[in-house]
Amino acid sequence: MKHLGNAHDLLGIKIDYSNQAYFLSQKNYAASILQQAHLTACKPLANPNCTKFPSTFPTDSSLFDPPLYRCLTGSLQYLTLMRPYIAYSVNQLSQHMHQPLPQHNYLLKCLLRYIQVSRRSTYGYCSFLGDSIIS
């Protein structure tokens, strides 16, 4: 075993160091999900939850493939490590992995378009074990 220095990227999580602080992000991982779905140049959405469905669902052939739907949904589950605010939407998509319908593909595409938004979340949390912060 040998020391190779500080970690910079681990399991799709980019690690940046500053003065006594670490910044973790999955920006590159999110970009790879969008690339896999062929949505790198899509128009971003500001809200991850779609409450109104259109009257007819377009059958987008690129996302209507059930194995691709499962793969993208599984990748989004891993993305919730750094973006817990999409957990509800990912949970809704995960409930239909056995037989995705056009409306589920519509919701998946909406969530992927939300991932395209490059702003920081105002969400934050602290987890303590006794008096020590662990996360």
Give me the residue spans of the domains in the chain.
9-133
pLDDT at 60: 58
pLDDT at 76: 94
State the number of CA atoms in the 13 A half-sphere of 23 facing the CB: 6
89 neighbors 107 (Cβ within 8 angstroms): yes
What H or E segment, with its residue span, contains residue 17?
Answer: strand 13-18
pLDDT at 4: 83
pLDDT at 91: 92
pLDDT at 58: 66
72 neighbors 112 (Cβ within 8 angstroms): yes
CB-based contacts of 111, cutoff 8 Å, min separation 6:
48, 76, 86, 89, 90, 93
Outline where 14-101 has alpha helix (H): 27-36, 66-79, 87-94
| Tokens describing residue 121 | 């979340």
Kindly list the distances between the CA atom of residue 52 and the CA atoms of 63, 78, 107, 110, in Å, as whole numbers in the listed order: 20, 26, 10, 11
Nearest-angstrom CA–CA distance, 32 and 38: 10
Going residue by residue through the chain, which has 135 residues, state the pLDDT in tens, using 9 for 90 and above: 888 888 888 888 888 888 888 888 888 999 999 999 998 888 888 887 766 677 776 665 555 788 999 999 999 999 988 888 888 889 989 998 898 888 888 889 889 999 888 655 555 677 888 888 887
